[in-house]
């Protein structure tokens, strides 16, 4: 775990706001104490907020991080993370690094985190940010998440944090047997949160949960 008491820019006031945010998320139905604790540990205000929104970093909202992209709403991060059932030591692939906040939450749960971003400027910023915050073991990649990371497969868990038109078959094939992929899936403005469990080569268990609104998962790299 990263020791945030040593991070410049985090203060007792932020810690208080964070606790309030976490209690709000708990009231909205998140029950996994490990997820709530991870959210209590990560200083969200240090993850790429534009100055106009910095004061609002602990509201339960998505906010712009540049390039038309957003840092996900805390409730959404908690919801996806809870569905993913991450255990310590799991090898986890995230598609859509964005601000790096979700990657930090996965890291706090003890995961070995690999994360891919398709926009070069965001990738460069997040790589520097995670190092500065002490997340030296999160491995950032600039690339197209539709391809996954075949060289590092198989993964115990895969998390897509952008709206996928349908579940990418290439990613399902990078799961270990028993592995889980969570993704918001849908072509319209709302997506259904779905969970896929790779039971065996001939069986993928599929479950559907609530609807969410994500920025789209787009093919190819930018920049
Ligand atoms: N997990 C992020 C959420 C970022 S929003 C966070 O915690 O802040 C979704 C991100 O997915 C955007 O940065 C977007 O550029 C990226 N993205 C969209 N399509 C992608 C793809 N095919 N491969 C990799 N990243 C993608």
Please tell me the residue having the least CA distance from ligand 1 atom 17. 96
Does the annotation mark 202 as catalytic? no
**What is each CA distance from 156 to 111, 118, 174, 204, in whole angstroms?**
10, 22, 9, 14
**How much is the pLDDT for 4?**
57
Residue among 162, 154, 210 at smallest CA distance from 183:
162
**How much is the pLDDT for 55?**
93
**How much is the pLDDT for 5?**
54
Best probe residue, ligand 1, of 66, 74, 81, 97 (max atoms within 8 Å of C-beta): 97
Distance 75 CA to ligand 1 centre (A): 17
**How much is the pLDDT for 77?**
98
CATH class belonging to 4-212: alpha beta
| Cα(133)–Cα(46) distance, integer angstroms | 9
Residue among 167, 178, 21 at smallest CA distance from 105:
21
69 CB under 6 A from ligand 1? yes
Measured from the Cα of 96, ligand 1's closest atom is: 11
Measured from the Cα of 48, ligand 1's closest atom is: 8
| Cα(133)–Cα(113) distance, integer angstroms | 15
**How much is the pLDDT for 196?**
98
70 CB under 6 A from ligand 1? yes
pTM for the predicted model, two decimal places: 0.96
Which residues in the chain show pLDDT less than 70? 1-7
Bridge-partner residues for 49, per DSSP? Answer: none
Distance 3 CA to ligand 1 centre (A): 26
Provide the residue ranges of all domains of the chain, joining segments of one domain with +.
4-212
Bridge-partner residues for 115, per DSSP? Answer: 94, 140
């Amino acid at each position: 775990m990263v020791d945030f008491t040593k991070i410049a820019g985090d203060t007792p006031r932020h810690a208080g706001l964070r606790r309030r945010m976490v209690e709000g998320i708990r009231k909205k139905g998140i029950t996994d104490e490990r997820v709530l604790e991870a959210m209590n540990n990560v200083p969200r205000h240090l993850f790429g907020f534009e100055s106009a929104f910095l004061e609002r970093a602990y509201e339960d909202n998505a906010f712009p991080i540049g390039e038309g992209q957003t840092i996900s709403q805390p409730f959404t991060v908690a919801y996806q993370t809870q569905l993913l059932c991450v255990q310590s030591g799991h090898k986890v692939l995230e598609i859509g690094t964005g601000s790096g906040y979700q990657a930090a939450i996965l890291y706090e749960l003890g995961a070995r985190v690999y994360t891919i971003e398709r926009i070069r400027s965001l990738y460069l910023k997040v790589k520097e940010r995670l190092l500065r915050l002490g997340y030296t073991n999160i491995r950032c990649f600039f690339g197209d998440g539709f391809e996954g990371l075949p060289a590092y497969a198989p993964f115990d868990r895969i998390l897509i944090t952008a709206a996928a038109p349908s579940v990418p078959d290439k990613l399902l094939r990078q799961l270990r047997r028993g592995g889980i992929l969570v993704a918001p899936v849908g072509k319209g403005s709302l997506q259904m949160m779905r969970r896929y469990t790779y039971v065996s080569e001939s069986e993928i268990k599929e479950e559907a949960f609530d609807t969410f609104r994500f920025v789209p998962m787009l093919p190819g790299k930018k920049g």
